[in-house]
Amino acid sequence: MCKAKLLHKASTLPEEIDWHLIGALQTNKCRAVARLIPNLWAVESVDDIKKAKALNIGRKELISSIPDAKKLRVYVQVNTSGEASKSGCDPKAAIDIAKCIIKECENLTLHGLMTIGSFTESMGEDENRDFKKLVGIKEEVENELKKSGLQLSTGLELSMGMSGDFEEAVKQGANNVRVGTAIFGERLR
């Protein structure tokens, strides 16, 4: 959901809604989103350090004005398919982004990793290799954080799978699936 739509919806709908921002987010919009939406529960598309730092600044500003505001949960989005059309960091960058969030972004909580698998893998009959890759990256990130003395209060969650492939995602360990199309139908374009 783009920033303008999310800001509008968050300002007009009940405050009890916990919003998840999924999809492309420009670095220059991160600060405002984190500052202006107190009930933004998670951003699932952090794919570089600059975005993490901008979200951290925005959330810090929110917490300064609303002391009982919560830290913002973030997921590192990883491009497991290697497709140029997909967002997400290179799998090798996930560790550095995770370390930065824990060490330098005191107003964020590293909650997990996210991927959007390739269409081919999502529609295939076999085990989804993009999901399997994210499971392996999760283990690498958790192990590297532990070696570095950066403990997580809980293990990282996996956000993977959408309406067409969520069953496979759950089989492979997804904690969070994105099934809006199955619930609400196709988006109007």
Instruction: Specify whether the CB–CB gap between 174 and 184 falls below 8 A.
Output: no
Domain 3-184: give its CATH code: 3.20.20.10
pLDDT in tens, 35-60: 999 999 999 999 999 999 999 999 99
Strands (E), the chain: 19-21, 40-46, 72-77, 108-114, 157-162, 176-178
Look over the chain and give the mean of its residue pLDDT values, rounded to a whole number: 91
Produce one character per residue of 90-107: b if its CB has 16 or more CB atoms within 10 Å, e if not: ebebbbebbbbbbeebeb
Per-residue confidence band for 124, with pLDDT thresholds at 50, 70 and 90: low
Q: Which residues contact 189 (CB under 8 A, 6 or more apart)?
A: none
Domain ranges in the chain are 3-184
Instruction: Specify whether the CB–CB gap between 70 and 77 falls below 8 A.
Output: no
Rounded distance between C-alpha atoms, residue 102 and residue 110, angstroms = 7
Whose tokens are 């967002």? That residue is 87
Instruction: Specify whether the CB–CB gap between 137 and 91 falls below 8 A.
Output: yes
**Tokens for 25?**
């987010």
pLDDT for residue 178 is more than 90: no
**pLDDT computed for residue 138 by the predictor:** 98
**Tokens for 111?**
């909650």
Q: What is the mean pLDDT of residues 61-67?
A: 96
Q: What is the pTM of this model?
A: 0.91
Rounded distance between C-alpha atoms, residue 6 and residue 95, angstroms = 29
**pLDDT computed for residue 113 by the predictor:** 98
Q: What is the mean pLDDT of residues 124-132?
A: 85
Instruction: Specify whether the CB–CB gap between 46 and 74 falls below 8 A.
Output: yes
Per-residue confidence band for 24, with pLDDT thresholds at 50, 70 and 90: confident
**pLDDT computed for residue 162 by the predictor:** 82
Residue type, 82: G
Q: Worst-scoring range by mean pLDDT, 13-27, 31-45, 54-68?
A: 13-27
Whose tokens are 């959408």? That residue is 162
